């Protein structure tokens, strides 16, 4: 059975004390392991702390980004094997902030994916359109242009089932705005159809999660949509109580 996925992207936030406090709250979550996964994406400097705090829980964790390179003179980069060495199971690739602020192209996303898959990391591929692209009717085209190079790079079609796709409308990230459930579902459906065109047998097993100002107040409607398999939560994941409310709603509707 395909499990729903709730992911927390803490971005560049936290201190040792605040991470301890946040994990103390989140680790109390009675995660329904047969139907749902929960993953935390902390800042890289807190990976060992997160690993220690979560070691007796079913909650996984991962890196917010990864290097295109295996090793070498790449100051500031963190390789896929280093993430695995720290206990990471997942990695975010292609987040809109990486694309817009750090110039990560579709080519770079594919290179990072290759490094992640080589060491067994589970990649969450982020795609999404800007407000200008949406208003110009280019949302689907933009997402196809981001996702097709990823799909075409897979040396084995079976790898598709190991990917997670996160749809994050750029205009809804950190803005307080969010896509309506119907808007999100329309894009998730288009993503699903793109996957069907590649491999109809595996497309249904790929989890497509939504990210973009997800809160407990709007999560229920999103999770009721048939092609929304979970959420990538940003700001709201920095509040343990709020995040766990979203988790409960995800388990009720997505499973």
Residue 186, helix vs strand vs coil: helix
Q: Under a CB-based contact definition with an 8 Å cutoff, are residues 203 and 166 in contact?
A: no
Tell me the longest C-alpha to C-alpha distance in the chain.
49
Cα dihedral 215/216/217/223 (nearest 10): 90
Strand partners, 196: none
- Which among 37, 95, 97, 111 is annotated as catalytic? 95
Active-site hit among 37, 104, 168, 242: 168
Burial class (CB in 10 A: 0-12, 13-18, 19+), 182: exposed
Q: CA 216: distance to chain centroid?
A: 18
Instruction: Tell me 103's DSSP state.
Output: -
CA distance 147 to 109: 10
> Tokens standing for 84?
């695995």
Structure tokens at 127: 């795609």
Extract the tokens encoding 248: 């409960």
DSSP code of 137?
T
Q: Decide if 189 is catalytic.
A: no
Q: Does an H or E element contain 123, and which? A: strand 122-127
Q: Catalytic: 178?
A: no
Catalytic residues: 95, 168
């Amino acid at each position: 059975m395909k499990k729903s996925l709730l992911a927390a992207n803490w971005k560049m936030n936290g201190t040792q004390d605040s991470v301890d406090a946040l994990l103390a709250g989140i680790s109390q979550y009675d995660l329904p392991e047969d139907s749902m996964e929960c993953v935390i994406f902390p800042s890289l400097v807190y990976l060992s702390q997160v690993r220690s705090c979560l070691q007796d829980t079913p909650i996984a964790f991962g890196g917010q980004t990864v290097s295109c390179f295996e090793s070498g003179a790449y100051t500031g980069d963190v390789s896929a094997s280093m993430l695995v060495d720290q206990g990471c199971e997942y990695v975010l690739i292609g987040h809109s902030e990486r694309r817009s602020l750090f110039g990560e192209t579709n080519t770079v996303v594919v290179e990072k994916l290759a490094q992640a898959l080589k060491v067994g990391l589970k990649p969450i591929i982020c795609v999404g359109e800007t407000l200008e692209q949406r208003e110009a009717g280019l949302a689907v085209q933009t997402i196809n242009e981001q996702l097709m190079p990823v799909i075409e790079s897979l040396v084995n079609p079976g790898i598709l089932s190991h990917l997670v796709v996160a749809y994050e409308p750029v205009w809804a990230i950190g803005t307080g705005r969010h896509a309506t459930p119907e808007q999100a579902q329309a894009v998730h459906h288009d993503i699903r159809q793109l996957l069907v065109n590649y491999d109809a047998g595996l497309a249904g097993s790929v989890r497509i999660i939504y990210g973009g100002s997800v809160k407990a107040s709007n999560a229920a409607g999103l999770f009721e949509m048939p092609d929304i398999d979970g959420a990538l939560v940003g700001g709201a994941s920095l509040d343990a109580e709020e995040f766990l409310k979203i988790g409960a709603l995800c388990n009720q509707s997505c499973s």
